């Protein structure tokens, strides 16, 4: 913790009295920082993790868009934006990690709880508002524009086809027993990718990771949307796919269509996002097993997650 305290002092001129680990997300570690200037939330992307470049490469492109949304849309107060370093940067880094600092949000993550009716209505209004904005905003969006690529697919095919023996026995057995389904999914996403690249589809700003662990109920009783690493200029199905199988889907879409009254789901685009997300999750776990330093418990948890994702392919 002393190294983090030093970094906070040098980069932010922040005297940290105490730093306490918090429950982190998929991409990063999390800490609560106590100081005389208030409480802060420190997000740490470890450079030792294979997935870190994917989550951090576009920080300087997506954060200015969230700042613009905070000041120019009805999402004010609904999303966090980083505290600037003394040099005016959105992030800082050292040999071990890349760091983003936020003011601490008092409240709790929705997480495993079911959304209430009021929360569903709030969330649908937030997403409908987000989808009002596209490349016309006065912030550069080119770097986050959807191109329907599946950049990890070639490496995933190589591992599944040629390097499978490098995986632990139980993982190898799992993949081999579902090889037909996995190959069909990879073939399907490859075809959808090529097809959608040729289409002229309407795109708006999308969060692209809308699950309950990225929703917080603040102490002021306001729902907030966190973890914007996946922000994209994309077809709205990139967000709406998360609600298709929810029991509140009809209620969500009823409110959503009050703003976007002529919207209809594009089934090909929806299928692309569902399939790519499934493969992304599978590949993320395979990457962790192959390339990340994990202790026995972490590896067991990763294998358990991978097993669940692969077994769910047919459904």
Please name the residue that has the structure tokens 């917080």.
Answer: 216
Reported for 154-158, long-range contacts at CB under 8 A and 24+ positions apart, including other chains, are 155/283, 156/186, 156/279, 156/282, 156/283, 156/286, 157/186
Residue range 93-97: mean pLDDT, rounded: 95
Average pLDDT of the residues in 241-260: 97
Of the two residues 259 and 291, the one the predictor is more confident about is 259
What is the mean pLDDT of the segment spanning 170-199? 95
Confidence of residue 197 (pLDDT cuts 50, 70, 90): very high
Percent of the chain with pLDDT strictly greater than 90: 88
Distance CA 66, CA 76 (A): 10
Compute how many other C-beta atoms are within 10 angstroms of the C-beta atom of residue 207. 24
CA distances from 309 to 27, 112, 313 (A): 18, 18, 7
Mean pLDDT, residues 224-246 taken together: 97
Residue 19 φ then ψ, to 5°: -125, 120
In this prediction, residue 28 carries a pLDDT of 93
- pTM check: above 0.75: yes
Question: Residues 35, 14: contact at Cβ < 8 Å?
Answer: yes
| 315 confidence band (pLDDT: 50, 70, 90) | low
Is the model's pLDDT at 110 over the cut of 90? Answer: yes
Helices (H) and strands (E) in the chain, counts: 11, 10
Backbone angles phi, psi at 13, to 5 degrees: 55, 45
pLDDT of amino acid 52: 94
Q: What is the mean pLDDT of residues 33-43?
A: 96
* Rounded-to-integer distance, Cα 248 and Cα 121, Å: 10
pLDDT at 208 over 70: yes
Domains located in the chain, CATH noted:
1-104 (3.30.200.20), 108-315 (1.10.510.10)
Q: How many CB atoms lie within 10 A of CB 156?
A: 19
Residue 170 has pLDDT above 70, yes or no: yes
Look at residue 77 and tell me whether its pLDDT is greater than 70: yes
Residue 163 class from Cβ within 10 Å (0-12 exposed, 13-18 middle, 19+ buried)? exposed
User: Across residues 33-51, what is the average pLDDT?
Assistant: 95
Opening angle at CA 240, ends 179 and 137, nearest 5: 120
Whole-number mean pLDDT of the chain?
95
The band of 257, judged by pLDDT with boundaries at 50, 70 and 90, is very high
Q: Are 102 and 59 in contact (CB under 8 A)?
A: no
User: Cβ distance 282 to 289 under 8 Å?
Assistant: no
State residue 165's pLDDT score.
Answer: 86
Residue 166 pLDDT: 83
168 vs 19: which has the higher pLDDT: 19
pLDDT at 314 over 80: no
Q: How far apart are CA 58 and CA 246, in angstroms?
A: 30
Task: Specify the range with the lowest mean pLDDT, choosing from 6-10, 95-99, 128-132, 172-176.
Answer: 172-176
Q: Distance between CA 168 and CA 296 in Å, rounded?
A: 12
If one counts every other C-beta atom within 10 angstroms of the C-beta of residue 165, the result is 7
């Amino acid at each position: 913790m002393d190294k983090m305290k030093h970094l906070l002092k040098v980069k932010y001129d922040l005297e940290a009295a105490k730093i306490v680990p918090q429950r982190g997300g998929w991409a990063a570690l999390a800490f609560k920082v106590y100081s005389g200037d208030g409480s802060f939330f420190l997000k740490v992307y470890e450079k030792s993790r294979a997935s870190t470049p994917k989550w951090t490469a576009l920080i300087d492109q997506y954060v200015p868009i969230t700042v613009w949304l905070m000041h120019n849309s009805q999402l004010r107060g609904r999303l966090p934006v980083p505290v600037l370093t003394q040099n005016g940067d959105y992030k800082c880094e050292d040999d071990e990690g890349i760091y983003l600092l936020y003011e601490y949000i008092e409240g709790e993550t929705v997480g495993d709880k079911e959304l209430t009716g009021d929360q569903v209505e709030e969330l649908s209004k937030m997403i409908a508002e987000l989808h009002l904005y596209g490349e016309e905003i006065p912030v550069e969006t080119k770097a986050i524009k959807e191109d329907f690529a599946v950049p990890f697919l070639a490496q995933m095919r190589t591992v599944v086809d040629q390097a499978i023996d490098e995986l632990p026995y139980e993982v190898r057995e799992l993949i081999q027993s579902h090889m037909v389904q996995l190959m069909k999914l990879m073939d399907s996403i490859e075809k959808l990718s090529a097809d959608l690249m040729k289409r002229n589809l309407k795109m708006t700003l999308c969060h692209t990771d809308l699950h309950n662990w990225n929703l917080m109920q603040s102490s002021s009783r306001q729902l907030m949307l966190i973890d914007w690493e996946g922000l994209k200029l994309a077809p709205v199905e990139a967000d709406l796919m998360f609600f298709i199988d929810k029991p509140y889907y009809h209620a969500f879409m009823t409110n959503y269509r009050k703003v976007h009254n002529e919207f209809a789901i594009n089934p090909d685009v929806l299928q692309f996002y569902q399939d790519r997300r499934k493969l992304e999750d599978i590949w993320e776990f395979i990457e962790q097993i192959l390339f990340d330093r994990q202790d026995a418990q972490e590896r067991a948890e990763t294998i358990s997650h991978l097993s669940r994702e692969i077994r769910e392919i047919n459904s």
